Amino acid sequence: MAKIGIIGAGGWGCALAWLLHNNGNQVTVWSALKEEIHMLKECHEQKDKLPGVILQEDMEFTVSLAEAILNKDVLVMAVASPYIRSIAARVSHYVKKGQKIVNVSKGIEESTLMTLSQAIEQEIPQADVAVLSGPSHAEEVGKGIPTTIVVGSKNKETAEYLQNLFMSNVFRVYISSDVNGIELGAALKNVVALAAGMADGLGYGDNTKAALITRGIAEIARLGISMGGRIETFYGLTGIGDLIVTCASMHSRNRRAGILIGKGATMEEAMEEVKMVVEGVYSAKAGYALAQKYGVNMPIIEQVNKILFEGKPAADAVSELMLRDKKVENIDLRQLYQNSVEIPW
């Protein structure tokens, strides 16, 4: 049995708390919001963000970071991406050398263009930081619906330890050393999901969504490989797998926000209606800035930025994408493999 602190009591944090407790671990959930912790203590249910998933009676809930972190074997960072760095800075005071931290949030820090695990490592250099990502809606994980996911770590022993910790008969875990590729796929798929939602809101069909998914993963892979990721990561669970589920499901807050924008709502109105952090909005600017930094062509990401931040009508953006210069679909994959990095373990 491991002692685990969950930093963040939103839907994903609570779903993973439920899973890890079912796996026989001792779980403590932290939130900065007193009313959220009161709700969890009284109801053992995250009524706002994960209704219907009843958390176990012997699970602990606290507003004290010290209580959530001290003497824990593993910390799970389940904080919305805009708050990762500030919470990590607070967490750092209590983290011992070598303590394992698993980042399960998805995004890119806009001010630094760092992945979230890089921001955590900068604030908590004494920690052993890993990531967990893949096609995994909290609403389904919390109901025990079969799910497959990936743990990424630079250290194989850490990856295997976390694989055993999270693995269950309904939650299959693979491991990978491509931490950077995993996080880029996780962050940028939310931006493409916004575009897929916009297409739905405009009344377009399956043909359009299939195009956005396939061309979207091509854009993500081009950038990811330029930044040292491996091509197989982007065509695996944390790339195309996560992109498909996020573009296709109404569980996806990014798709839901995109639908509202496609119907004419502003970005602010869509975020207010969804009532949760829409990670793709925060990752869109960072994704486009990375594309410019590395000289990578990302037309879908570019058009999403113009819709979100320049007021461009979604229908006009689709027309511009359709009327781009003629292209060859696939480049030589051997070239991508030659540019890919060595697998460290």
* Tens of pLDDT, residues 186-243: 999 999 999 999 999 999 999 999 999 999 999 999 999 999 999 999 999 999 999 9
Residue 272: count other Cβ atoms within 10 Å of its Cβ: 12
Set 72, 106, 189, 285: catalytic member: 189
Domain with CATH 3.40.50.720 in the chain: 3-177
- Answer yes or no: 41 catalytic: no
3 state SS for 146-209: CEEEEEECCCHHHHHHHHHHHCECCEEEEEECCHHHHHHHHHHHHHHHHHHHHHHHCCCCHHHH
E strand or H helix at 270? helix 267-274
Three-class DSSP category at 219: helix
pLDDT of residue 320: 84
Q: What is the pLDDT of residues 115-128, one digit of tens each?
A: 999 999 999 999 99
pLDDT at 325: 63
pLDDT at 342 over 90: no
From the candidate CATH numbers 3.40.50.720, 3.40.50.620, 3.40.630.10, 3.40.50.150, the one assigned to the domain spanning 3-177: 3.40.50.720
Q: What is the CATH number of domain 180-339?
A: 1.10.1040.10
What is the mean predicted confidence (pLDDT) over 268-286? 88
All CATH 1.10.1040.10 domain ranges in the chain, comma separated: 180-339
pTM value is 0.92
pLDDT, tens only, 72-111: 999 999 999 999 999 999 999 999 999 999 999 999 999 9
φ/ψ of residue 220, rounded to 5: -60, -45
pLDDT at 182 (0 to 100): 97
Written as six digits, the tokens of 260 are: 């509202």
What is the chain's mean pLDDT, rounded?
93
Sign of the Cα pseudo-torsion (54, 58, 62, 64, in order): negative
| Nearest CA-CA partner of 308 in 334, 280, 329 | 280
